[in-house]
Amino acid sequence: MKRISTFVLTLLLATGGFAVQAQTKLPPRKPVQPKGRVVSKGTATRDGAVMKDGKVILTQSGLTNPVLQETALVNGTKIRPDGSLTLPDGTTTTMKEGDYMSLTGRLTTAAMKAEQDSLAKAALLDPKGKNGKNGKKKSR
């Protein structure tokens, strides 16, 4: 009998303890400020490295930072802060102002960009050099 009353008393205390615990309120959560990101407002909008103002700027996953130490790309190309590149085959070259290297190791020079722009503009012109899609002169 003494064991049963001890058991019942323990059961009541345990049940009461759970009920009290369930009624306590948690303090409200404090708002957390999201971490800031470095965003470039210039030529480096794609992921890759660009030589700008004599510095190599690297953009990865939308984050843009200057290259401060030697960085290796996926294909094994190494980029140094001064703009010198060591390609996977061991050859070295230096980036010039406006040159772009993708994260896969494809180098696009400023001269190549200018050529691509001029070819795109020429494609918009008709064979006679007039503006228009079908070569007909516009009537006024």
CB 108 within 8 A of CB 99: yes
Q: What is the residue whose two structure tokens read 């030697």?
A: 70
15-58 per-position pLDDT tens digit: 765 555 556 677 787 777 666 555 545 544 688 999 998 899 99
Task: Tell me what pLDDT residue 37 has.
Answer: 57
- DSSP state, 125? B
Q: What is the residue whose two structure tokens read 């290259």?
A: 67
- Is the pLDDT at 132 greater than 60? The verdict is no
Tell me how far the alpha carbon of residue 64 is from its chain's centroid: 7
pTM check: above 0.85: no
Instruction: Strands of the chain (E only): list them.
Output: 48-52, 55-60, 63-66, 71-72, 78-79, 84-86, 92-94, 100-102, 107-108
48-86 per-position pLDDT tens digit: 999 998 899 999 888 888 999 999 988 899 999 999 999
Task: Tell me what pLDDT residue 43 has.
Answer: 47
Give the SS3 label for residue 107. Answer: strand
Structure tokens at 41: 């407002």
Better-predicted residue by pLDDT, 49 or 140 = 49
